Amino acid sequence: MTRIDRYLGAATGALVLAGLAAAVSAPPDRLQGELQRLMYVHVPAAWLAYLSFGLTLVGSVAWLRSRQERWDRLAASSAEVGVFFTGLAIALGAIWGKPVWGVWWTWDPRLVTTAVLLFVYLGYLALRRATVDATRRARNSALFGVVGFVQVPVVHFSVLWWRSLHQPPTVLRPGDPTIDHVMLAALVVNVVAFSAVFTVFLRMRMRLARDEAELAAATEAPGRPVAGSAVTAPAAQVAAVTRQMDQREG
């Protein structure tokens, strides 16, 4: 663990505690009461899903331009962490939706497009897992990573394009946010805290990806016995041929 990791870990811990304190001390919603506090985890999770798939796009484009492995590691690691946060946002949305809407799941455009987003990136990860050759894996997944990002703005704008149960954007919108300013402050603290958690996860996953690549390179290194090398001439025949040659020369 490097010094940066130690500082980052400590800062993340402090930010998470601050986020928790802000979420608990913020006033409850007038209509939803305490339930609304789920927002302080649900919204950061959704924001991190956007951010991580954005980083996958950046890593994919950068790999296509530079062919450097680190960009591929960034794209892949970010997609993996993004799938986790998308799943978390969906799960928390369902838990929030049950008491408020009366159902765990409804055919709302935001929910459906977010679920589609999850499956797009599960497909991305499946494609990576299925491709053995590292360069080919990087290229194919980079191209798919660029195409798959189209779904992210569709998710964000779905609440504006279609009639939706889900509330429209309250913070990422033109003009003044339509949220109480104390709640907004608590939300911002939690977004920062979760972004720090995301950074820790991403760094850990990228390091793991680098170690995996090094391990794969080491196990495929030249000098290891390959299938063909198992086929050798029988010792008795070699000895007989050597004897015959010696006799001829003698």
Positions in the binding site for other proteins (CB under 8 A): 64, 112, 116-117, 119-120, 122-123, 126-127, 130-132, 135-136, 139-140, 143-144, 147-148, 150-151
CB of 82 to other proteins, least distance (A): 15
CB of 115 to other proteins, least distance (A): 9
Q: Which is nearer to other proteins, 140 or 170 (CB)?
A: 140
Instruction: Please give the backbone phi and psi of residue 56, each rounded to the nearest 5 degrees, phi first.
Output: -65, -40
Q: Which is nearer to other proteins, 19 or 59 (CB)?
A: 59
Q: How many CB atoms lie under 10 A from the CB of residue 212?
A: 11
CB of 206 to other proteins, least distance (A): 23
Q: Kindly write down the DSSP assignment for every residue of 161-218, as one continuous string.
A: HS--SSPPPSSSSSSS-SS-HHHHHHHHHHHHHHHHHHHHHHHHHHHHHHHHHHHHHH
Q: Are 19 and 190 in contact (CB under 8 A)?
A: yes
CB of 145 to other proteins, least distance (A): 10
Q: Which is nearer to other proteins, 163 or 248 (CB)?
A: 163
Give 33's strand partners: 29
Q: Which of 58, 45, 52 is nearest to 77 (CA)?
A: 52
Q: Which is nearer to other proteins, 138 or 191 (CB)?
A: 138
